[in-house]
Structure 1
Amino acid sequence: MYFTFAITYRCNGTVKQSRFKIFSDPVHGFISVPQNLLLDLIETPEVQRLRRIRQLGLGHLVFPGAEHTRFNHALGAMALMQEALAHLSEKGTPISAEEHLAACAAALLHDIGHGPFSHTLEHQLIEGFTHEAMSRQLLLRLNERFHGALELTIQIFDDLYPRPFFHQLVSSQLDMDRLDYLRRDSFYTGVVEGKVGVERIIKTLQVHPIEGGPDSRIVIESKGIYAVENFLIARRLMYWQVYLHKTVLAADALLRSVIRRARSLIQAGDAQAATYCAPALRFFLEHPLKAPEALGRDEVIEAFCQLDDVDVLYSIKQWSQARDAVLADLSRRFLHRRFFRTTFLPQTPSPEQLAQWRGRIAQWLVQQGIVPKTQAEEAATYYLTADASQHTAYEPVADPIPVLDRDNQIRELSRTTDAPAIDAIARFVRKPYLCLPKELPFELP
């Protein structure tokens, strides 16, 4: 929901009018967008497409309130960028109007390259795909359409602008992206452990040196240490409780199996599977595509801009009536929320263990009458997923959080606070798991 406001004011005896739009956001309140390049970007088809892509992928199937979209998040990140730049300016860092606009545009467009259900199908449609690479391609296209107005935005996005603190506000441990999605996802899922003191963090950000030259970087003032600690802890908890929840992993595995089966059938010439598939999705299942080469082709980018959650859901509803019993069964399981069971393992299963499980699944598929014995071994590969969830809440070596202490000295976060607590947050955690039908009793072979 948004409102258009017109404010009339007098300047040097002349009546002028300033127009802007106010978006009503349940997380940040009212978000003000001036009717300039930012609003023009919001109204582009590329940004409006984000309304049809869920922020948490399949998370809404576990947390019913998590129906928010990438569009909500894009507006939120831009709003936080506006706040951060205002506070940095108040503290003495010079920021021009052009830089302000470019940085806000970078925050708005940073996730424009996400595909359907966000991260769930990121590696299924184009081999080697990353949404960051697609975001950059779309930025280039928008820049051409807007006659070079996004040149500075692209420099900030690429970290080529000689004032690097702008890029850090877009991509770093404390960027506007993370600050928004943690608070937003906590709000919509109802997971209170993910609540973050965003205002406190933003108000304690500072550019050091204050002039913001080529050697400048974003630091956190010492009074913001505890807010940052809470942010890192919240990030760890949100990953294990929401993003890597075992049922979310099961839903992801099932959707990927549906897509893999459909691709196999379509590329083998199954006309019905192709006909039942939404045209925007069918393009990616018909053609073997590999990044980065595919991202340089206009037809790939144009097809991608047409693709969203709706295309995938439509196709799955159609495939649930397919002649192919495996595709139909997998699709119905997804539609009726009959996911696989996710079982976490003490260690990665061996190839021999996985082969035994595939054999049991193959026998079960034959017993259920889903496939004949001659097709069971191949069909079983769609009913078993072996993977691992992994996460690090803080990377002190690759991307440390610098703290400006009261003596005006810069120290890494763990050297200014309870080091064991930060070390625990920074520890890399990997959890192997299996996803397989619930109808099969689970025992490690």
Structure 2
Amino acid sequence: MNPTNPLDNLKAPGSLLEQKTSETKVFRDPIHGYIRVEYQIVWDLINSREFQRLRRIHQLGGVSLVYHNAEHTRFSHSLGVYELCRRMITEVDSIRSILNQQEQITVLIAALLHDIGHGPYSHFFESISKISHEDLGTMIIESDQTEINQILEKAQNGLSKRVTSILKKESEPHLMSSMISSQIDADRMDFLLRDAFETGTTYGNFDLERILRTLRADQDSLFIKKSGIHSVEDYIMARYQMYFQVYQHPDSYGYELLIERFFKRLEQIENENQMMNKDLDPDKQMIDMASDLKNPLRMLHKGQIHLLDETLLNMVIRKALDFHDEILKDLAERIINRKLFKWMDQPGDQDLKIIRAELKKHNLPESIYLQEIELSTGEYLPYHEKSEPILVLDMDGSRKYLSECSAIAKALLSVQKPDSHRIYFPELILDTLIKDQTDNKNSYD
């Protein structure tokens, strides 16, 4: 990568959006073979410090603690989404005929930047920062404090807002947004193939080449020829399997829960110290770093959003090993050494009674060491037709919902996994629970 300031590559404030690189740049990629870059503005955005930050953000958050090889990043996924949009433009005649050259380049930029707002451990971080990655991404692209914004505006006035309008689904033609975010889009197609490859599973595999060959478009959306139905069925089944076998793995959630508990405990400590007017030294540096992490808008306004990464989060957690609070130190040790909480689905009243008694016995606060969650699986079902359904182009030229043409899609619409009540708790309680369950079982024999 070019270590110089990417802004130096653009010739002049009025330089054309269509400016090409001196030669086609390529990235070797395990999913797409080569990722090709031919526009200078795309190359400059990749070299920006905010985009390089994505190298330091895990794509799958806590999933890497379950599938040990899932170490890939938002950087590689973002490049993959860009490449799929580039292929759509290159290989789907109807897309190329609808979008002019500047629109084509703009949608490529939007594809590249669609995840620019993700924080440490991706989606999980939103529970810490209280801001969605979509909203933060819009602010990063539109803020004059970022290299990304400066590159966009130097290429063409107002370009940053045209990019965010695509990401917010406010663009015309709406097709540009559909290419990046719909039920059959470059984002989902890349992350399914990439996540399956990196986790070593086969759930996420489907025939990408067949989908691209049978893909069609109009001003508003993408749709598929009827001859491509079977490849789309594989695609939505891949989503179905990946959601429940990989993305929603309980141990992945358990790891992210530890980090959430860590910040909750830190907040408790801060509040207690403020009430007592207690000096935080020598812990102030760690407290300040954690405060920046929780406030990405403050980092953005200070021109430091490129420092919002997992390196910073891990530094905070490491420093907590020397913190004065034993509970915070315990949580930090658990995070660093993967000492996850145990979990149980559908616990009974007796189970909860035992856990609470054991926590009290070991002087462990329930607010930190017992987490009860209600899992509503309906929102994670991989296909629905409430908005932007997958449309099929029939032989007579009419368009139908996928469920009208596919028994598999129709069956998935009716799938409802039961909601679940799950609890997480320290492993030291497990023996007591098992003994109680064994005693109860024996009493029935």
Bin the TM-score by the shorter chain: 0.7 to 0.9
Q: Deviations over 1:299-324 (max 9, x none)?
A: 55745442111111121122123221
Deviation of 1:134 (Å): 0.8
Match of 1:201 in 2: 211
Q: Return the alpha-carbon distance in structure 2 between the equivalents of residues 92 and 304 of structure 1.
A: 35
Structure 1: distance between partners of 2:78 and 2:319: 32
1:102 to 106, 117, 131: 106
What is the rounded CA distance, in whole Å, between the counterparts of 2:354 and 2:123 in structure 1?
28
The aligned amino acid for 1:140 is E
Paired residue for 1:385?
A: 371
Name 2:77's counterpart in structure 1.
Answer: 73
Matched, 1:321 2:317: no
- Structure 1 gap ranges (5+): 3-15, 367-375
Q: Does residue 90 of structure 2 align to residue 93 of structure 1? A: no
- Does structure 1 residue 231 correspond to structure 2 residue 228? no
Amino acid at match of 1:39: W
Match of 2:25 in 1: 21
2-side partners of 1:316 and 1:284: how far apart? 12
Corresponding letter in the other structure for 1:252: E
Determine whether 1:57 maps to 2:61: yes
**Structure 1 partner of 2:140:** 138
1:20 Cα offset (Å): 2.6
Aligned-partner SS, 1:37 = helix
- CA distance in structure 2 between the partners assigned to 1:242 and 1:431 by the alignment: 17
TM-score normalised per structure 2: 0.82
Q: In structure 1, the residue corresponding to 2:322 is in which secondary structure?
A: coil
Q: Return the offset for 1:146.
A: 3.0
Q: CA deviation at 1:158?
A: 2.4
**Which letter does structure 1 place at the counterpart of 2:217?**
V
1:397 to 2:398 alignment = no
Q: Which runs of 5+ in 2 are unaligned?
A: 3-19, 274-278, 441-445
Query: Map of 1:403-442 to 2, 5 A cutoff?
Result: 403-418=392-407, 422-424=410-412, 427-429=415-417, 430-441=419-430, 442=433
> What are the Cα deviations for residues 213-254 of structure 1, in whole angstroms up to 9, with x where unaligned?
xxx321111111111111111111111111111211211111
User: What amino acid maps onto 2:391 in structure 1?
Assistant: P
The residue type paired with residue 397 of structure 2 is N
Residues 252-272 of structure 1: per-residue CA shift (max 9 Å, x gap) = 111111121122223433725
Q: In the alignment, what sits opposite 1:277?
A: 286
Other-structure match for 1:164 = 174
- How far did 1:273 drift? 8.0
TM-score, normalised to structure 1, is 0.82
**Alignment-mate amino acid for residue 382 of structure 1:** I
Residue 165 of structure 2: which of 155, 173, 193 is its match? 155
1:329-360 residue CA offsets vs partner (Å, 9 max, x unmatched): 111111111101122228xx8xx889746632
Q: 1:47 aligns with which of 48, 51, 62?
A: 51
Aligned: 1:114 with 2:121: no
| CA drift at 1:90 | 6.2
Q: Alpha carbons of 1:29 and 1:17: their partners in 2 closer, same or farther (altered >3 Å)?
A: closer
Deviation at residue 191 of structure 1 after TM alignment:
0.8
User: Quick check: 1:312 aligned with 2:309?
Assistant: no
Name the aligned partner's letter for residue 275 of structure 1: K
CA contact (8 A) 2:45 2:151 kept: no
Asked if the contact 2:35–2:83 (Cα under 8 Å) also holds between the matched residues in 1, the reply is: yes
| 1:365 matched to 2:374 | no
Distance 2:24 2:247 in 1: 35
Aligned residue for 2:211, secondary structure, equals helix
- Deviation of 1:122 after TM superposition, in Å, equals 1.3
Alpha-carbon distance, 1:125 to partner:
2.2
CA distance in 2, matches of 1:110, 1:273: 40
Q: CA deviation at 1:21?
A: 1.3
Q: Secondary structure at the match of 2:323?
A: coil
Shift of 1:428: 4.4
Aligned equivalents of 2:350, 2:305: Cα separation in 1? 38
8 Å CA contact retained: 1:93, 1:207? no
Contact 1:402 1:411 in 2 (8 A): yes
Letter in 2 for 1:271: L
Question: Matched residue of 1:240: which SS?
Answer: helix
Please, what is the CA RMSD of the aligned residues?
A: 2.8
Give, in whole Å, the separation in 1 of the partners of 2:217 and 2:117. Answer: 29
Amino acid at match of 1:433: R
For 1:299 and 1:75, how far apart are their aligned partners in 2? 23
- Counterpart position of 1:370: none
Deviation (angstroms), 1:361 = 4.2
Greater fraction helix: 2
1:168-247 → structure 2 map (5 Å cutoff): 168-208=178-218, 212=219, 216-247=220-251
CA distance in 1, matches of 2:368, 2:54: 30
| SS in structure 1 of the partner of residue 71 of structure 2 | coil
Answer yes or no: is the 8 Å Cα contact 2:88–2:95 preserved in 1. Answer: no
275-284 vs 113-122, which moves further: 275-284
What letter corresponds to residue 72 of structure 1 in structure 2? Answer: S
Q: CA deviation at 1:131?
A: 0.6
Please tell me the residue identity of whatever aligns with 1:137: M
C-alpha distance in structure 2 between counterparts of 1:103 and 1:230, whole Å: 27
Please give the alpha-carbon distance, in whole angstroms, between the structure 1 residues aligned to 2:320 and 2:122: 22
For residues 184-234 of structure 1, give each alpha carbon's deviation from its aligned partner in whole angstroms, at most 9, with x where no partner exists.
Answer: 0000000111112222222221113xxx3xxx3211111111111111111
Answer yes or no: is the 8 Å Cα contact 1:73–1:181 preserved in 2: yes
Q: Within 2, Cα distance between the matches of 1:205 and 1:49?
A: 33
Does the CA-based 8 Å contact 1:361-1:380 persist in structure 2? no
| Alignment CA distance shift 1:272-1:226 (3 Å) | farther
SS in structure 1 of the partner of residue 82 of structure 2 = helix
1:29 CA displacement: 0.8
Alpha-carbon offset, residue 160 of structure 1: 2.4
